[in-house]
Amino acid sequence: MSFKSVNPVTAETIKEYASHTQPQVAEIISDAEDAFQSWKRTSFDERSKLMNRVAALLEERKDKLAELMTQEMGKTLKEGRSEAEKCAWVCRYYASHAENFLKDKQLESDASNSYASYQPLGVLLAIMPWNFPFWQVFRFAAPSLMAGNTALLKHASNVPGCASAIETLFRDAGFPKHVFQNLFISSENVEDVIADARVKAVTLTGSTRAGKSVAATAGKYLKKCVLELGGSDPYIILDDAPLKFAVEACVTSRLINAGQSCIAAKRFIVTEKNYDSFVQGVVQAMKEKVMGDPRVESTDIGPQARADLRDELHEQVAKSIDAGAKPLLGCEVPPGAGSFYPASVLANVQPGMPAFDEELFGPVAAIIKAKDKDDAIRLANKTVFGLGAAVFTADEKEGERIAREELDAGCCFVNDFVRSDPRLPFGGIKESGYGRELSLWGIHEFVNVKTVYVK
């Protein structure tokens, strides 16, 4: 078996990568375990120096890395450069803060000295998706390696070049050999890796279906697991919302990465007062976005990462229209080569339609009318997902109350679109997964919180 890198614009094969055999996988895991024995004793100063070198290389190579992302999954060059820069940010963040985050915490007891100590677990397995092929990896790798763990990466099968480039970045930065390694294996072989006694934990970013499978396997072998899964993020537009700004923020969020983002705005829930104006504004703003070659700087929307993903998206749109949703823009597969799907708007979306109930992983805005604020909150929470949510209102205190107390999601924003930030914990609830990445909480996921008691 091999992994093919295929250009979603031309459908041409760029390169093939040989998969690892079972003996090779066993050797890679053994090397990772051996590397852990010395890496866990490496000082924070030394780890920080190496992580800062990775950050510098990401910035130096951002143009080439962006080109690689564009070739393998269709991301626009400007978005690819931004992704590389964000990866450098998370590397520097943990290089600066990891030691403080992992300081012993003194605890009161009847001992003469008692405290919690944060110790690395060992070899970690990361199963990562194609949509942000560098960022998803680095937001796991930076805290995990700074904590003293070693890492194995099973990346998505359609971005093997990105996986290889990430391993090269760590090697070129001077990280000890085998601290970070790729595994070119199929999904069918993942259980064998999780089952290996030397692998201590697993993290997955991907679909809810994949998350359930990995969680079941991790549970079977009693391995720690963190899951960041799909979302159908609701954005509530209240009567007093700053409408022009809300439209701009919603459209920006919906079209990031051609709509292929777990935390992109997916369902726009608008109270009756603003519904017609909001619909008109979104249609106009979406209409102005340029779909085309992701290598061209003026392009706003590149192709979907694969043709089968584009076709699945269109099927969800078509079923929603058949159920009564009103297509106002796009909603048709364009002719010609490439797995493109246009900026699209569906109005009159209702519960029971795929556009309401499922995650639309592409540039499709689903607009829903709510009677009032309470109805909008009800509709926002009427989902199996719980990753991100946002509310737009001129009443900042009320917006904060809704975000804090009413919305069922892991990340709730007021008057802005949801995004990940190294300084803030990130993750979801319900079928959007569990555990947290980033910030203090992210680095604490994969350490042993060890109680030390001295009488």
Structure tokens given for 60: 């130096």
pLDDT at site 210? 96
**CA-based angle 80:53:199, to the nearest 5?**
85
Contact 365, 251 (CB under 8 A): yes
Contact 32, 200 (CB under 8 A): no
* DSSP secondary structure letter of residue 437: B
Question: Among 107, 127, 108, 125, which Cα is nearest to 116's?
Answer: 107
Place of tokens 């093919």: 4
pLDDT at site 116? 98
Contact 205, 436 (CB under 8 A): no
- C-alpha span between 413 and 134 (Å, rounded): 24
- C-alpha span between 188 and 193 (Å, rounded): 10
Q: What domains can you pick out in the chain, each with its CATH number?
A: 2-229+430-454 (3.40.605.10), 234-414 (3.40.309.10)
pLDDT at site 442? 98
Angle between helices 44-60 and 135-146 (to 10 degrees): 160
- C-alpha span between 359 and 11 (Å, rounded): 25
pLDDT at site 348? 98
- C-alpha span between 377 and 406 (Å, rounded): 7
- C-alpha span between 245 and 394 (Å, rounded): 11
Active-site positions read 228, 262
pLDDT at site 1? 72
The answer for residues whose C-beta is within 8 angstroms of residue 57's C-beta and 6 or more apart is: 169, 172, 173
* pTM tops 0.85: yes
- C-alpha span between 453 and 231 (Å, rounded): 43
Dmax over CA atoms of the chain, in Å, equals 75
**Tens digit of each residue's pLDDT, the chain (455 residues):** 789 899 999 999 999 999 999 999 999 999 999 999 999 999 999 999 999 999 999 999 999 999 999 999 999 999 999 999 999 999 999 999 999 999 999 999 999 999 999 999 999 999 999 999 999 999 999 999 999 999 999 999 999 999 999 999 999 999 999 999 999 999 999 999 999 999 999 999 999 999 999 999 999 999 999 999 999 999 999 999 999 999 999 999 999 999 999 999 999 999 999 999 999 999 999 999 999 999 999 999 999 999 999 999 999 999 999 999 999 999 999 999 999 999 999 999 999 999 999 999 999 999 999 999 999 999 999 999 999 999 999 999 999 999 999 999 999 999 999 999 999 999 999 999 999 999 999 999 999 999 999 99
Helix, strand, coil percentages in the chain from 3-state DSSP, rounded to 5: 45, 20, 35
- C-alpha span between 110 and 114 (Å, rounded): 8
Contact 156, 133 (CB under 8 A): yes
State the CB neighbour count (10 A cutoff) for residue 47.
Answer: 21
- C-alpha span between 443 and 48 (Å, rounded): 14
State the CB neighbour count (10 A cutoff) for residue 163.
Answer: 25
Beta bridge partners of 180: 151
